[in-house]
A and B are shown apart, each in its own frame.
Chain A
Amino acid sequence: MTLPGFPMASPVEGLIGGLLIGLAAAIMLLGLGRIAGVSGMTARATGIADTGAPRALAIAFVIGLPLGALIVNALSGGVGTIFPESTLQIVVAGLIVGYGTRLGSGCTSGHGVCGMSRLSKRSIVATAIFMASGFATVAVMRLLGYFG
């Protein structure tokens, strides 16, 4: 199914994938009493953060993510991933995302999915800001001719 006016959108796949993500976060919350925040779990799994989830739990979550993606990728015959061509661009983006998510205590999963659904003021503010910042950044990239 496509969305009139937005030929690139896949709303049904988006909703179904979103439900899976929400279910994953609900299992983490109700089963283990924690926020399924990927930046926090990754920092904890790698030992960069020394507080938070028990290490084994964080490592298991971080291993599960690529395994789940791998399974869907294999079953669907390839989901397609187009990265920026420039390695420098990927490195710069990664550095800023890593620093920013630690400073702001969360990313799209922790603040966006888990915090907003809890009506956390902190998470709603964070999500509004990183969304706005993302929109502005890509608008500037467009002005600079990145998209041709």
Chain B
Amino acid sequence: MKTPTISLLSGLLFGAGLAYSGMANPARVQSFLDLFGQWDPTLAFVMAGAMVPMAIAWVFQKRMAQPLACDTFDLPGTSLLDSKLVLGAVLFGIGWGIGGLCPGPAVADLGIAPLKAGIFVLAMLAGMTIHRITSR
């Protein structure tokens, strides 16, 4: 299988999982973040479910010299804690709370509610571009 085909399959399953779990719905994600309202813990179950295949995958990854369909693993470091990580996470959490959307559901929602999701994704891309320009 060609590598973009595998990537497409990964994206398909990811988008399907988001939609099936209810996490493509910004109102449900916001309900998860709303501890003082009618709290909806579903997102915690989604995270727990996603951990299972990935925890197993990391066990295999450690024993593999290379990925199945390409030459090398290209993985980020795991230990650096700096102010960028902290400030970035704080900001991301604020935006996530305001809209009920993080990047995965936002991009997935382009297939369900293209107008609203499109506005969010365009704004998100603008935010990413601002980061790129200002961090040069």
Q: Are B90 and A122 in contact (CB under 8 A)?
A: no
Q: Interface code A88-107, partner B: CB below 8 Å = 1, 0 otherwise?
A: 01111111111111111101
Assembled-state Cα–Cα distance A3/B42 (Å)? 10
Which A residues touch B74, using CB under 8 A?
A: 33-34, 53
Q: Are B111 and A73 in contact (CB under 8 A)?
A: yes
Known contacts A102-B131, A137-B97, A147 near B34 by CB under 8 Å: yes
Q: Are A19 and B17 in contact (CB under 8 A)?
A: yes
Q: Are B78 and A120 in contact (CB under 8 A)?
A: yes
Which A residues touch B73, using CB under 8 A?
A: 33-34
Which A residues touch B19, using CB under 8 A?
A: 17, 68-69, 72-73, 76, 79
Q: Are A69 and B61 in contact (CB under 8 A)?
A: no
Assembled-state Cα–Cα distance A46/B9 (Å)? 19
Known contacts A27-B6, A32-B3, A96-B98, A129 near B112 by CB under 8 Å: no
Size category of the binding interface on chain A: 35 or more
Q: Are A20 and B16 in contact (CB under 8 A)?
A: yes
Which B residues touch A57, using CB under 8 A?
A: 3-4, 7
Q: How far is the CB of A11 from chain B (nearest CB, A)?
A: 5
Q: Are A133 and B113 in contact (CB under 8 A)?
A: no
Q: Interface code A36-70, partner B: CB below 8 Å = 1, 0 otherwise?
A: 10110011001011000110111111111111111
Q: Are B98 and A93 in contact (CB under 8 A)?
A: yes
Q: Are B129 and A94 in contact (CB under 8 A)?
A: no
Which B residues touch A133, using CB under 8 A?
A: 89-94, 96-97
Which A residues touch B109, using CB under 8 A?
A: 66, 69, 81
Q: Are B48 and A67 in contact (CB under 8 A)?
A: no
Q: Interface code B54-83, partner A: CB below 8 Å = 1, 0 otherwise?
A: 111110110010111110111111111100
Q: Are A60 and B7 in contact (CB under 8 A)?
A: yes
Q: Are B54 and A117 in contact (CB under 8 A)?
A: yes
Q: Are B111 and A97 in contact (CB under 8 A)?
A: no
Q: Are B92 and A97 in contact (CB under 8 A)?
A: yes
Q: Are B99 and A65 in contact (CB under 8 A)?
A: no
Assembled-state Cα–Cα distance A136/B33 (Å)? 8
Known contacts A81-B26, A120-B78, A134 near B97 by CB under 8 Å: yes
15 A-B residue pairs with CB within 8 Å: A10-B22, A14-B21, A15-B45, A18-B17, A28-B7, A31-B70, A38-B102, A73-B112, A95-B127, A100-B87, A100-B91, A107-B103, A116-B51, A117-B57, A122-B76
Given contact pairs A56-B7, A118-B58, enumerate 7 new A-B contacts (beta carbons under 8 Å). A8-B40, A19-B53, A34-B74, A46-B128, A101-B92, A134-B97, A137-B97
